[in-house]
Amino acid sequence: MKIQIKQWSGKNRELLIRQTIKHVASLIFSDQALAIIKTINIKMIKSPQITVCSKQSPADGYLGYHYNTQEGVVSICIKSTLSDTDFIGVLAHELMHLAQFADQRLLMGSEDAFWKINGRYCRYNIQSESYQEYLDWPWEKEARDFANAYLKILNHSKRNEQAKAAKRKESK
């Protein structure tokens, strides 16, 4: 999997991005997803075009992505001025969407989305402008839950490392 990073403004996050994508992919990308997704483009700009499910949405607020199965090229757009934590959260959220698409648990048309539950597709109208409906879409819930869980894992391992470092200091 190739990772290409374009940054037009803000803090240099090249390493953070590469580490996060590698780590998240190892957690949630299936073999199929790894085979399909050949290149991930990360674009960081001050005011990204906001597109969620091909329409404007206030929800994620600052990102959008495109997905192209045929070429296996995906672009994720993230606001460059976010804090590191928010940035990682948004990236993890979007990567979960990529996994959903690659595994065909989520199919997206221009008016409808199909979400696979227990082996069957459930149809959702995505034309509606309601923010609440957007929040309730199961693929959004899953991406949000994953991002939150991922940040907790990171936080936990960071604290463990700090505790270990403190212990090492003590024993010196």
Residue 45: burial class (beta carbons within 10 Å; 0-12, 13-18, 19+): middle
Nearer to Zn ion by Cβ, of 14 and 145: the residue is 145
Report DSSP letters for 4-30, one per residue.
EEEESSSS--HHHHHHHHHHHHHHH--
Q: Is 63 in the site for Zn ion (CB under 5 A)?
A: no
**Minimum distance from CB of 143 to Zn ion (Å)?**
5
**Minimum distance from CB of 161 to Zn ion (Å)?**
30
**Minimum distance from CB of 12 to Zn ion (Å)?**
25
Short-list 95, 57, 63, 56, CA closest to 82: 63
| Contact of 7 with 79, CB cutoff 8 Å | no
x/- track of binding to Zn ion for residues 23-52 (CB under 5 A):
------------------------------
| Contact of 143 with 69, CB cutoff 8 Å | no
Subset of residues 125 to 144 that bind Zn ion, contact rule: CB under 5 A = 140, 143
**Minimum distance from CB of 100 to Zn ion (Å)?**
9
Nearer to Zn ion by Cβ, of 25 and 76: the residue is 76
For the chain, give the longest Cα–Cα distance. 64
Nearer to Zn ion by Cβ, of 25 and 140: the residue is 140
Q: Which residue ranges make up the site for Zn ion (CB under 5 A)?
A: 140, 143
